[in-house]
């Protein structure tokens, strides 16, 4: 008799668990749902488009192409020790696309999923994480294009390229954390979206996506280096095709800051959600 009740899931509204550990456990417990949501995301995005999955590759390639035309003469000579501009640019565009779209999707997922979240119990954080994962998958498709461009321009691919997984992992923490942090504001206020869009584009321009850090003055260099996105870019370019340099400080900043944001995001979300959900 006791065994029957032991195996049952018991919900107690007064039970207080460890917020951070419980959320990570939910990501694991709901992994099948996350996989389905990611698959649905990719299927729905491409089902009705002529180019299908190719679009994932084409979009960053075309963006990079435009930037390449505009900036090739200005920046390519400034790149350190013979780094090619095309792969430098594409690496930047791919990673920043992962950042911006991952953030947007994670932040929007709670508001968009409210139809489900108000009727079926699923930890809402799972939707934010699934949004981030689906952009990680897109990023991985993009790596094939980057590998191709790196090879034909002569930059090549580093032997350490599997370490890119650590960049992806950190970015997942970063965008999930940021997304959770602002998602409550998205649900509550209509105009927060545009405010955050501006902040995010600041972060984008204050990181070396299409310009080399070498062109920056001392003050701007300090600002750009303080941006965690810069460490992401440095580490990514270094591990993928051994261009530029990434110090241990970059690794530590990338991983540490992302973990910090994830903790803040999860904690503030758990605190704010019960107050938001009654008003939905």
Partner 1 sequence: MSSSPVIEVIDASVSYMIRHGASPTLKETAIQSLKRQSHDVEVKALQNLSFSLNPGEVLAIIGRNGAGKSTLLKMLARVLPPTKGRVIVRGNVSPMIELGAGFNGELNGIENIALYGTLLGRTPKQMRQRAADISAWAGLDESINLPLRTYSSGMVARLAFAIATDIVSDLILIDEVLSVGDAEFQEKSKLKMKELISSNSAAVLVTHDLKAVKEMAHKALWIDHGRAMKYGDVDSVVDAYLNA
Q: Does 73 bind partner 1 (CB under 8 A)?
A: no
Residue in 99, 34, 21, 33 with CA at minimum distance from that of residue 267: 21
For residue 280, give Cα distances in angstroms to 9, 60, 120, 188: 26, 37, 14, 9
Q: What binding mask, one character per residue, do residues 120-149 give for partner 1 by CB under 8 A, x or -?
A: xxx---------------------------
163 binds partner 1 (CB under 8 A): no
- The reply to whether 5 sits near partner 1 by the rule CB under 8 A is yes
Q: Which C-beta is closer to partner 1: that of 156 or that of 188? A: 188
DSSP reduced 3-state for 83: coil
Are 169 and 190 in contact, with CB atoms under 8 Å apart? no
- Name which of 189 and 202 has its Cβ closer to partner 1: 189
Part in contact with partner 1 (CB under 8 A); list of ranges 30-38, 210-218, 245-253, 262-270: 30-38
Please give the Cα distance from 64 to 70 (Å, whole number): 10
The verdict on 274 binding partner 1 (CB under 8 A) reads yes
CA-nearest of 101, 189, 194, 84 to 141 is 101
Nearer to partner 1 among residue 11 and residue 69 (C-beta): 11
Find the shortest distance in angstroms from Cβ 260 to partner 1. 25
The count of other CB atoms within 10 Å of the CB of residue 126 is 21
Q: Does 198 bind partner 1 (CB under 8 A)?
A: no
Residue 42 three-state SS: helix
Asked if 279 interacts with partner 1 (CB under 8 A), we say yes
What are the backbone angles phi and psi of residue 44, rounded to the nearest 5°?
Answer: -65, -40
- Can residue 33 be called a binding residue for partner 1 (CB under 8 A)? yes
Site string for partner 1, 223-262 (x = CB under 8 A): ----------------------------------------
Instruction: Report in angstroms how near the CB of residue 131 gets to partner 1 at its nearest.
Output: 15
| 180 neighbors 187 (Cβ within 8 angstroms) | no
Tell me: does residue 115 bind partner 1 (CB under 8 A): yes
- In angstroms, the Cα distances linking 196 to 5, 104, 182, 250, 259 are 47, 9, 8, 25, 21
CB-nearer residue toward partner 1: 81 or 191: 191
Query: Does the protein bind partner 1 through residue 12 (CB under 8 A)?
Result: yes
Alpha carbon distance 177, 186 (integer Å): 14
**3-class SS at 174?**
helix
**Contacts (Cβ under 8 Å, ≥6 apart) of 160:** 239, 242
Which of residues 156, 192, 256, 259 is near partner 1 by CB under 8 A? Answer: 192
DSSP H stretches of helix in 212-247: 218-226, 228-241
- Residue 40 is a binding residue for partner 1 (CB under 8 A): yes
Number of residues that bind partner 1 (CB under 8 A): 40
Residue with tokens 């959900």: 277
Q: Pick from 16, 18, 32, 218 the residue near partner 1 by CB under 8 A.
A: 32
Chain residues binding partner 1 by CB under 8 A are 1-2, 4-5, 8-14, 32-33, 35-37, 40, 43-44, 47-48, 115-122, 185, 189-192, 195, 274-275, 277-279
């Amino acid at each position: 008799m006791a065994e029957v009740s032991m195996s049952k899931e018991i919900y107690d509204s007064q039970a207080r668990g460890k917020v951070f550990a419980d959320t990570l456990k939910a990501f694991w417990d709901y992994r099948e749902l996350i996989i389905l949501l990611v698959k649905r995301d990719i299927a729905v995005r491409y089902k009705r488009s002529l180019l299908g999955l190719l679009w994932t590759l084409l979009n960053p390639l075309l963006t990079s192409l435009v930037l390449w035309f505009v900036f090739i003469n200005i920046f390519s000579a400034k790149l350190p020790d013979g780094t090619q501009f095309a792969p430098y640019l594409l690496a930047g565009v791919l990673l920043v696309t992962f950042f911006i779209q991952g953030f947007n999707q994670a932040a929007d997922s709670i508001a968009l999923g409210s139809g489900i979240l108000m009727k079926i119990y699923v930890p809402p954080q799972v939707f934010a994480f699934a949004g981030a994962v689906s952009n990680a998958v897109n990023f991985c498709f993009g790596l094939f294009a980057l590998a191709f461009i790196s090879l034909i321009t002569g930059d090549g691919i580093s032997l350490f390229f599997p370490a890119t997984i650590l960049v992806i992992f950190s970015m997942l923490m970063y965008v999930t954390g940021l997304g959770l942090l602002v998602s409550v504001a998205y649900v509550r206020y209509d105009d927060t979206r545009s405010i955050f869009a501006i902040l995010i584009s600041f972060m984008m321009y204050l990181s070396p996506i299409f310009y080399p850090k070498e062109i920056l003055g001392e003050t701007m260099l300090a600002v750009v280096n303080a941006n965690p996105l810069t460490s992401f870019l440095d580490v990514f370019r270094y591990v993928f095709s051994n261009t530029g340099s990434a110090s241990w400080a970059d690794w530590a900043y990338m991983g540490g800051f992302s973990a910090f944001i994830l903790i803040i995001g999860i904690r503030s979300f758990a605190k704010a959600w019960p107050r938001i959900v009654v008003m939905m």
